[in-house]
Amino acid sequence: MKAETQAVTVIGAGVGGMSAAYDLAKAGKDVTIYEAADHVGGLAAGFKEQHWDWTVERFYHHWFQSDQYMLGLIDELGWKDKVLFPRPVTVMYYQGKFYPFDSIKAALLYPGLGWGINKVRFGLVGLFLRLTNNWQALEKTTVDAWMRKWAGNKVYDSMWKPMMIGKFGDKYNQVVNMAWLWARLHARTTRLGTFEGGFQAFNDAFADKLREMGVTIKLETPVHAIQPLKEGRLKVVTAAGESCTFDQVLATTSPGLLAHITPDLPESYLEGLLSLKSMGAVVMVLSLKKPLSEEGYYWYNIPKQAGFPFLSLVEHTNFISPIHFGGDHIVYIGDYLPQNHAYFDLTEEEIKKLFLHHLPKFNPHFSPDWVKKTWLFRTKYAQPVPLLNHSKNIPAIRTPLAGLYFASMSQVYPWDRGTNFAVEIGRRAAKMMIKDIKS
């Protein structure tokens, strides 16, 4: 078969998988995408009520002004004018109250840091992390140890320890390396972005563009197995028992799923995949008759020790106007949790009852009859856990199985998961695949 008509497949129609398919199709490849869900977008997918003009993400998402890979792709597609960058207000919890924390002035006024030397240390540490590019040295120590040494106990206990516990649980101080926190602080911006119509509007438009380019997208088609063939090609078998042969396969699944569907991978690579740890996520979305935040706050950072049964509360319609949602006020309540946490087994009604009980702490006038509708979304693959010296644990994009490639959010390290780096690793994998075809 000639290279220019070589058949390749991408497993997963998330942003990373679609980005890879885009470049593969531009290179003249015959591309097929298999997606288990009935929609494209992966963890950045959204949903829509009939009276809404915009979609709402299942798991809250936004872009930063520094997201060069995502914004670069959008510019390349000619949709730059559809990217919006409002500036919502983020707040921190301290002694029963919430305080804005989205600017230098707000940080200086935030009482949780104390005064004098603590705020100076906070500012100097933040400046250093934004200026340094030497993350390799930082992965040799934990966030807990580095921050206590350089920012001090007061600053760390007030600012970063609550987030670390919230995202990684009670073993945060033993396992999470400082390069992870460096990546979060190094390039992120206070101004947050979205796409006109919501993330799903972008996902659907991108999928339509791929179809125009000749890409076949098979929704509701989970892959059951990837099997090597003697002639160096790969057979993809779906859960329905259908099979097709490809010259190259790019998996954009979780590491655990890739190990499950490709047992023919060498044992050392399989062990590496299975050794990667991840936190899960549980998010409840509420549609309310009235706004929850009387101050217009968007993102509430909530320490676990404050007694709330969730990590974050995000009032989406203080970021995007409720006009786009038929006047409904959209609120996310979410948490990162161990994969065996009870929230993965509780019913939607049980979680709703647990969460709603705490909403009067955000608005004393809140009443359960404000709730028009709720949706519950859960995933056990949401936040990769970055261990000490984690760079040595990252699986190679080119797997040891000829023709099989792997690109997931577990490999964007030291950067944090998100659509920006999904685009980067998807396109990087596609570039390798195209190069290997030519060589």
Supply the pTM of this predicted model. Answer: 0.92
Structurally, how many domains does the chain consist of?
3
Query: Would you say residue 146 lies in a domain?
Result: yes
Same domain? 266 vs 290: no
Residue 90, in any domain of the structure? no
Residues 201 and 77 grouped into a single domain: yes
* 83 DSSP β-pair partners: 195
Q: Is residue 358 part of a domain?
A: yes
Q: What pLDDT does 109 receive?
A: 81
- State whether 266 and 403 are in the same domain: yes
CATH number of the domain encompassing residue 310: 3.90.660.20
Contact in structure between 274 and 263 (CB atoms under 8 Å) = no
Q: Residues 298, 377: one domain?
A: yes
Q: At 274, which helix (H) or strand (E)?
A: helix 267-275
CATH assignment at residue 31? 3.50.50.60
One domain for residues 68 and 32: yes
**Could you say which of 124, 152, 186 is where a domain stops?**
186
| Ramachandran bin of 403, using left for φ above 0, alpha for ψ from -120 to 50, beta for the remaining angles | left
Residue 176 is assigned to a structural domain of this protein: yes
Inter-residue long-range contacts of 128-133, CB under 8 Å, 24+ positions, other chains counted: 129/181, 129/182, 129/185, 129/186, 130/185, 130/186, 130/187, 132/182, 132/186
Query: Which of 340, 355, 384 is at the close of a domain?
Result: 384
Tell me, what DSSP letter sits at residue 89? P
97 located within any domain: no
* 225/295 same-domain check: no
Q: Give the pair of three-digit tokens for residue 98.
A: 């919430």
* Residue 268 and residue 301 in one domain: no
* Whether 137 and 152 share a structural domain: yes
Residue 296 lies in a domain: yes
pLDDT number for residue 120: 87
* Alpha carbons within 13 A on the beta-carbon side of 216: 10
pLDDT by 10s per residue, the chain, length 439: 334 457 999 999 999 999 999 999 999 999 999 999 999 999 999 999 999 999 999 998 899 999 999 999 999 999 999 999 988 888 988 888 888 887 777 777 888 777 788 888 888 998 999 999 999 999 999 999 999 999 999 888 888 888 888 888 877 667 899 999 999 888 777 789 999 999 999 999 999 999 999 999 999 999 999 999 987 899 999 999 999 999 999 999 999 999 999 999 999 999 999 999 899 999 999 999 999 998 999 999 888 888 899 999 999 999 999 999 999 999 999 999 998 999 999 999 999 999 999 999 999 999 999 999 999 999 998 889 999 999 999 999 999 999 999 999 999 999 988 899 999 999 999 999 999 987 6
Structural domain harbouring 33:
3-83+196-276+390-438
In-domain check, residue 93: no
Residues 336 and 430 placed together within one structural domain of the fold: no
Tokens 């404000």 sit at which residue? 370
Is 77 in the same domain as 171? no
Structural domain ending residue among the three candidates 151, 186, 221: 186
Q: Is residue 247 domain-resident? A: yes
Give CA–CA dist 201/41, Å, rounded: 10
Cα–Cα distance measured from residue 60 to residue 100, given in angstroms and rounded to the nearest whole number: 20
Looking at the structure, tell me whether residues 55 and 79 fall in a common domain.
Answer: yes
The reply to whether 115 and 239 lie within a common domain is no
